[in-house]
Chain A
């Protein structure tokens, strides 16, 4: 279920259980990014990053949840995305973050690409327990 977004505080949560959910995730994140006033290129970046990680979640862990919401520090405002799964986890994060790395065909650029597209990037993963990826894009001119 997607939580309804309010005008100044687009936020929500979405379970990823099948391939279609990747599409929903893109749509929901796009809505949020637009509501927060990001320009077209940044919206594309954010949605692309979300697409990469939503697919990673589905392909590696089978299922997981994506949460998104507005974040604000004293002087900055941005959109934060978080991908959480209880999948197999990543054995070697550094290796996984290397460009082009892939253990299951075709997903090598997902993590490193998303990191490039967003501003802040944090990943926690324990083998056998799951993975949490948190990314933030800050608004320029706010």
Chain B
């Protein structure tokens, strides 16, 4: 483990060739900013093939958070990995859809188990932007 999970800390755990990155419940801007660095550092160290970003505790996912995630996923891709967003809450999914948040380069999974299943399969071809608002 790279970091102990605390009240407001990101936890990064390596399991074989996959990184499990768990976000705390109410990340403030500094935590969200720290996400990118944490992920990329861990990617460099472990050369993981996938990053599982667990947001199952997160209640508010605004455009700043979304943009950071999207950028991070792009960087992970450049470093040879996939990003899978795990456990998005229903209310968050509805809100994000309504805003029209574009998550672009990420896949999604209901929970860590499914995410592992997904990571073991071949990645699907490039998806279009997920935003559905004209």
Contact = CB atoms under 8 A, between A and B. Distances in A.
Q: CB atoms of A and B under 8 A apart anywhere in the complex? A: yes
Interface of A: 19-20, 22-23, 26, 40-41, 43-45, 47-48, 51-52, 55, 99, 106-110, 112-113, 116-117
A112 B30 CA distance: 24
A44 B89 CA distance: 10
17 contacts: A19-B29, A23-B26, A26-B26, A26-B60, A40-B91, A41-B91, A41-B95, A44-B94, A47-B59, A48-B95, A51-B62, A52-B62, A55-B29, A106-B68, A113-B99, A113-B101, A117-B99
B29 A22 contact: yes
Contact of A99 (B28, B29, B66, B133): B133
Contact of A51 (B30, B60, B91, B100): B60
Given A19-B30, A22-B29, A108 B63 contact: yes
Given A20-B28, A44-B91, A48-B62, 14 more contacts: A19-B28, A26-B26, A43-B91, A44-B59, A44-B94, A45-B94, A45-B98, A47-B59, A55-B29, A55-B64, A106-B67, A109-B66, A109-B100, A110-B63
A107 B95 contact: no
Contacts of A110: 63
A83 B48 CA distance: 43
B75 to A, nearest CB: 15
Nearest to A115: B99
B133 to A, nearest CB: 7
Contact of A107 (B60, B64, B90): B64
Given A41-B91, A44-B91, A116 B60 contact: no
Contacts of B101: 109, 113
